[in-house]
Amino acid sequence: MDGTILLFLLQDGITNGAIYALLGIALVLVFAVTRVIFIPQGEFVAFGALTYSLLEAGRLPGTVWLLVGFGVAAFVSDLAAMRRAGPSLRRLAVAAVSDLVIPGLLALVAARVAGRGLGAGAHFALTVALITPLGPLLYKIAFRPIAAASVLTLLIASVGVHLALVGLGLVFFGAEGLRAPAVSDLMVNVGPLLVTGQSIAVYVVTLVAIVALWLFFERTLWGKALRATAVNGLGARLVGIRTSFSGTLAFALAAGVGAVSGILVAPMTTIYYDTGFLIGLKGFVAAIIGGLASHPATALAALAVGAVESFAAFFASDMKEIVVFSLILPVLVWRSLTATHVEEED
């Protein structure tokens, strides 16, 4: 195999890897803060891609119905929580705004904007705006009521959410596959490689997102609060950081990152309502290799996964998935052996 093909495969791998990196980081973030292994992250990516593609095609995306529907369900969940903690007008108002008013407004904006041909930038912003609230709403509906349950129960709930989302995806997006137009027709020669404008967009946006997240966690109080919850949940509560606050914020970030990943992927390949699962799983592999703990390790692992996938596809395309998923096993064994034994007597 000559150097050109090697470079070509590497470049392909890194481009995909960048997307897996964002996915993986979102998974690690959610797990660290809420202990939920968030299998449906892939659905956020797929829905983001589909939403963006539909907007670019001048149509109203089904996401608005998801948003409003989840909003209603989350409001019911908030009402149930209020019944336990004692009713208060302030809590009711806050819930109504976050669950009903904001989704409703976003739906209206989308309805006005769709078909007006406002350009990729506006569609990018609108897609992120539509998908991001889905995170906290899902958290309220499915995970907050069992927040204290074991990681396993949360994982099973995660699987349940995944099943529901795939089904809803079919209902609201239909069975057709969609692909968005490339962000630019730019083609740049870098040595023997031909780098497309789309790839450059992927690298740039991914880097910006990673840096932005890093700044958020290092420099802002809310970011530190999230880190604190991940490090010591009880300690966080003792300084007044509400568990539901951390959960909501973590899920919002994950959904936002998912939406961005989706928009990046949309022009690169045809996305269907159920493509999210496989993409999510690859980000998942990266997160596991990173120990479900470290963001930099996850990002690097993601690049590796992208590269492995690229090479496997070239040499034995049938075995591509088998290779990628089998990768997890030795890593899991290693992680399991080196993880501290939790059951010690105190």
Partner 1 sequence: MNPRLLLAGFTAVLVLIPLVPGVPVFWITLLGNVGLAALVAMGLVLLTGVGGMTSFGQAAFCGFGAYATAVATTTWGWNPWMALPLSLAVSGGAAVVLGLLTVRLSGHFLPLGTIAWGLALYYLFGNLDILGRHDGISGIPPLSIASHPLTDPRAVHWPIWIAVILAGIATTHLLDSRVGRAIRALRRGRLAAEAFGIDASTTKLIVFVHAALLAGLSGWLYAHVQRTVTQTPFGLNAGIEYLFMAVVGGSGRVWGAVVGAGLVTLLKEVLQRVVPAVVGTGVQLESVVFGIVLVALLQVAREGLWPHLAALLPARPRSAPDPAEALPRRTIDTGRRTPLLVLEGARKQYGGLTAVNDVSFRVGRGEIVALIGPNGAGKSTTFNLITGVTRLTAGRVSFDGAEISGTGPQAIARRGIARTFQHVKLDPDMTVLENVALGAHLRGHAGVVSAMLRLDRRDEARLLAEAAEQVRRVGLGDHMMKPAGSLALGQQRVVEIARALAMDPELLLLDEPAAGLRHFEKGALADLLRRLRAEGVSVLLVEHDMGFVMGLTDHIVVLDFGTKIAEGPPDVIRTHPAVLEAYLGGAA
Partner 2 sequence: MSDVLLELADVSVAYGKVQAVRGVSLTVKSGEIVTVIGANGAGKSTLLNATMGALAATGSARFAGRDLARLGVEERVALGLCLVPERRELFSTMSVEDNLVLGGFRVPKAEARRVLAEVYDRFPRLRERRDQTAGTMSGGERQMLAMGRALMSRPKLLMLDEPSLGLAPRIVADIFRIIADLRATGVAILLVEQNARAALAAADRAHVMELGEVTVSGAAADLARDERIAQSYLGLH
Give the HSE-up count for residue 339: Cα atoms under 13 Å, Cβ half-sphere: 14
Pick between residue 149 and residue 228 the one whose CB is nearest to partner 1: 149
CA 303 centroid distance within chain: 17
- Closest approach, Cβ 327 to partner 1, in A, equals 8
Pick between residue 22 and residue 29 the one whose CB is nearest to partner 2: 29
156 binds, among partner 1, partner 2, none (CB under 5 to 8 A by kind): partner 1
Place of tokens 């976003």: 106
Contacts of 116 (CB under 8 A, 6+ apart): none
Contacts of 281 (CB under 8 A, 6+ apart): 42, 325
235 binds, among partner 2, partner 1, none (CB under 5 to 8 A by kind): partner 2
Question: Cβ(273)–Cβ(50) under 8 Å?
Answer: yes
- Closest approach, Cβ 112 to partner 1, in A, equals 28
Pick between residue 116 and residue 242 the one whose CB is nearest to partner 2: 242
- Alpha helices in the chain, H assignment, sequence order: 3-34, 41-56, 63-85, 89-96, 102-113, 120-131, 134-138, 151-173, 197-219, 221-231, 233-238, 243-265, 276-289, 295-315, 320-326, 328-338
151 binds, among partner 2, partner 1, none (CB under 5 to 8 A by kind): partner 1
Contacts of 273 (CB under 8 A, 6+ apart): 46, 50, 166, 169, 170, 173, 174, 175
Closest by Cα among 54, 11, 24, 66 to 289: 24
- Closest approach, Cβ 283 to partner 2, in A, equals 24
CA dist 197 → 185, 201, 225 (Å): 6, 6, 37
Pick between residue 264 and residue 301 the one whose CB is nearest to partner 1: 301
Pick between residue 167 and residue 296 the one whose CB is nearest to partner 1: 167
- Closest approach, Cβ 82 to partner 2, in A, equals 11
293 binds, among partner 2, partner 1, none (CB under 5 to 8 A by kind): none
- Structural tokens at position 131: 């998908």
> Cα–Cα distance between 332 and 129 in angstroms, integer?
36
> Cα–Cα distance between 336 and 319 in angstroms, integer?
26
- Closest approach, Cβ 15 to partner 1, in A, equals 23
- Closest approach, Cβ 164 to partner 1, in A, equals 3
Binding site for partner 2 (CB under 8 A): 85-86, 221, 224-225, 227-228, 231-232, 234-243
Pick between residue 2 and residue 318 the one whose CB is nearest to partner 1: 318
> Cα–Cα distance between 35 and 155 in angstroms, integer?
9
- Closest approach, Cβ 236 to partner 2, in A, equals 8
224 binds, among partner 2, partner 1, none (CB under 5 to 8 A by kind): partner 2
94 binds, among partner 2, partner 1, none (CB under 5 to 8 A by kind): none
- Structural tokens at position 256: 């936002």
Pick between residue 224 and residue 335 the one whose CB is nearest to partner 2: 224
- Closest approach, Cβ 135 to partner 1, in A, equals 16
Binding site for partner 1 (CB under 8 A): 37, 141-142, 145-146, 149, 151-153, 155-157, 159-168, 170-171, 281, 288, 318-319, 321-322, 325-326, 328-329, 332-333, 335-337, 339, 341-346
Pick between residue 185 and residue 346 the one whose CB is nearest to partner 2: 346
- Structural tokens at position 65: 């119905």
